[in-house]
Chain A
């Protein structure tokens, strides 16, 4: 559906995006995730045609649109700031792209009314943007971007200007709308939770480059780089030695305990290598008595955060953080001698 090849953008001597390539399939929901300044917006604006690439090609539905002006790309774009026209009501904002396309009045009325119903704003149709709430503006902007049935929808941090509660509601709403309309969607965000929850695939960006592309589970449990591992949530980095390598898994030695670990993507490990394993806090198991494959550790700090209790441990000279369901953490006390093991991540799903 969307195919981007070797896209680059330089601003003077500064390189904002370099060698960015990505294919997005029909009806797929893909997220660009990365820290501030990593070039996410720049990529989106080049795809929308608002920014001219320094190099590379963009194809939409096999048509080369690299030098096509934005008017003719037929892409729905939702801006971070919504960019609703203040002089028009919500209704007129949504009708705007249809009037440009010279739809008949009756067709416009039908389409706008049904979109307003889709986004749950029928009762706010006659209001101007400035008297709508943030969430209502966002839904109006979404309806406007979808009005003309664009085959591709681009969203730039669509939820970042909203408060936490509205954001959570709109997140599932956005996913529902994407599912019902089946529109191919590329969303920019720097909120990892949002990316993991909404996307079919996540593109992790860092300093203008792609760090990793994968399913949310890939990105979360099988990070291809230290950057990705640390950018997406908290992680334990464990030093281990590779003992044996098979086709898709390896046997590693961590503090004298042998574990079967999936072979990482984008890296090639061989026997004898010292490697870093990434284990999420919820993948750490803690028990009061030693089971096979566990090593001793000492509790250094406990912090209660509602559903989970964060248990800080020290095993030899390694710091480990474990997330334990609070309902099952009652026996843990500061300074307690415990035993820990890691649950290895599942193997990568075949692609």
Chain B
């Protein structure tokens, strides 16, 4: 009995080692680095991280992430709603599968795909110019802008929202809607009194996770926007690979602050999941 459990535990040893080497060790390094200037302990890194271009990077990143999360939640909410209302099971399974793929199709491949279609010499841009004699850039569109970035973000945030919202939306039963009607209520009453209260925890939790996802997206943002948008992950990249200015301590401090933001988002997500659980199961409720 004991030796068996030892054996199964030993399988995890390489995993523990891996996590220690590539997650815990760098994290400790990051914490220490953020509080030092190479020789002494200091708070200077945090002071600079919350000033000037870095503070404005936080503001820009937060704003863009909020926007992305909003687009994701609205788009994903609508898609999920339509999906569960249509009784077409093949459409449901296809779109769920497509969403899983799309939600993970972020990073460089996604950025390249967009540049190849909507970039200055992208396929769609050229065809558009050929057909209508107008350049998309002249019409004010630029992929390397906040709008462009938002479009790219939407392609993985919307599917991610679909995946995260689907279980909750699925748990809504059509009899509830019919019950509201027979009791004299309208569809608006149904949405307001039944659907929204049941979905709120999932919506808030999903929103937090989408926000975190957009906030921490580095490769996609870097490839699409480069230096044209002042984003936290990009600033961290500059500071630690030394392309522009190398300042490991400041980079660590920014990374720590980003971790705090992401941590908060995850806490919100987990808290909402807990609420969604027991509340749906009931219990002695709000008086």
Chain A interface residues (CB < 8 Å from chain B): 48-50, 69-77, 79, 81, 83-89, 96-97, 100-101, 126-132, 144-145, 148
- In the A-B complex, the 6 residue pairs with the smallest Cβ-Cβ separation, listed nearest first, are A128-B282, A130-B282, A83-B175, A97-B183, A131-B282, A83-B179
Report whether A129 and B282 are in contact in the complex, using a CB–CB cutoff of 8 Å.
yes
- Interface size on B, as a range, is 20 to 34
20 contacts between A and B (CB under 8 A): A50-B178, A69-B181, A71-B185, A77-B182, A79-B175, A81-B175, A83-B179, A85-B179, A86-B198, A87-B198, A88-B193, A97-B184, A100-B189, A126-B284, A126-B287, A127-B283, A128-B282, A129-B282, A130-B283, A145-B183
Nearest A-chain residue to B281, judged by Cβ: A130
**B173 / chain A contacts, CB cutoff of 8 Å:** 81, 83
**B145 / chain A contacts, CB cutoff of 8 Å:** none
The distance from the CB of A186 to the nearest CB of chain B, in whole angstroms, is 14
**A132 / chain B contacts, CB cutoff of 8 Å:** 282
Report whether A71 and B181 are in contact in the complex, using a CB–CB cutoff of 8 Å.
yes
Q: Is B176 an interface residue (CB 8 A)?
A: yes
Chain B interface residues (CB < 8 Å from chain A): 173, 175-176, 178-179, 181-186, 189, 193-194, 197-198, 279-287
Q: Give chain A's interface secondary structure class.
A: loop
**For the complex, what is the distance from the CA of A48 to the CA of B286, rounded to whole Å?**
32
The distance from the CB of B177 to the nearest CB of chain A, in whole angstroms, is 9
Report whether A79 and B283 are in contact in the complex, using a CB–CB cutoff of 8 Å.
no
The distance from the CB of B232 to the nearest CB of chain A, in whole angstroms, is 38
**For the complex, what is the distance from the CA of A132 to the CA of B285, rounded to whole Å?**
12
**B284 / chain A contacts, CB cutoff of 8 Å:** 126-127, 131
Nearest A-chain residue to B199, judged by Cβ: A87
The distance from the CB of A116 to the nearest CB of chain B, in whole angstroms, is 15
Contact A128 to B283, CB < 8 A, known contacts A81-B175, A96-B183: yes
Of B182, B193, B286, which is within 8 A of A85 by CB? B193
Report whether A71 and B184 are in contact in the complex, using a CB–CB cutoff of 8 Å.
yes
**A130 / chain B contacts, CB cutoff of 8 Å:** 280-283
Q: Give chain B's interface secondary structure class.
A: helix
Nearest B-chain residue to A92, judged by Cβ: B285
Report whether A50 and B181 are in contact in the complex, using a CB–CB cutoff of 8 Å.
yes
Of A49, A75, A77, A127, which is within 8 A of B285 by CB? A127
Nearest A-chain residue to B171, judged by Cβ: A86
Report whether B194 and A85 are in contact in the complex, using a CB–CB cutoff of 8 Å.
yes
**For the complex, what is the distance from the CA of A131 to the CA of B284, rounded to whole Å?**
8
**For the complex, what is the distance from the CA of A77 to the CA of B184, rounded to whole Å?**
11
**For the complex, what is the distance from the CA of A303 to the CA of B117, rounded to whole Å?**
81
Most buried by A among B173, B182, B185, B285: B182
**B178 / chain A contacts, CB cutoff of 8 Å:** 50, 70, 77, 79, 83
Report whether A48 and B176 are in contact in the complex, using a CB–CB cutoff of 8 Å.
no
**B197 / chain A contacts, CB cutoff of 8 Å:** 87
The distance from the CB of B103 to the nearest CB of chain A, in whole angstroms, is 28
Given contacts A50-B181, A73-B182, A77-B178, 18 further A-B contacts (CB under 8 A): A49-B182, A50-B178, A71-B186, A72-B184, A75-B182, A79-B178, A83-B176, A87-B279, A87-B280, A88-B285, A89-B285, A89-B286, A96-B193, A97-B184, A101-B184, A127-B285, A128-B282, A131-B282
Nearest B-chain residue to A72, judged by Cβ: B184
Report whether A70 and B181 are in contact in the complex, using a CB–CB cutoff of 8 Å.
yes
**For the complex, what is the distance from the CA of A81 to the CA of B173, rounded to whole Å?**
10
**For the complex, what is the distance from the CA of A79 to the CA of B173, rounded to whole Å?**
12
The distance from the CB of A109 to the nearest CB of chain B, in whole angstroms, is 13
**For the complex, what is the distance from the CA of A76 to the CA of B283, rounded to whole Å?**
27
Contact A87 to B189, CB < 8 A, known contacts A81-B175, A144-B183: no
**B280 / chain A contacts, CB cutoff of 8 Å:** 86-87, 130
**A86 / chain B contacts, CB cutoff of 8 Å:** 198, 280, 282
**B198 / chain A contacts, CB cutoff of 8 Å:** 86-87
Contact A50 to B182, CB < 8 A, known contacts A83-B176, A87-B194, A87-B197: yes
**B186 / chain A contacts, CB cutoff of 8 Å:** 71
**For the complex, what is the distance from the CA of A126 to the CA of B286, rounded to whole Å?**
8
**For the complex, what is the distance from the CA of A40 to the CA of B78, rounded to whole Å?**
35
Of B184, B194, B287, which is within 8 A of A100 by CB? B184
**A83 / chain B contacts, CB cutoff of 8 Å:** 173, 175-176, 178-179
**B279 / chain A contacts, CB cutoff of 8 Å:** 87, 128
The distance from the CB of B196 to the nearest CB of chain A, in whole angstroms, is 9
The distance from the CB of A125 to the nearest CB of chain B, in whole angstroms, is 10
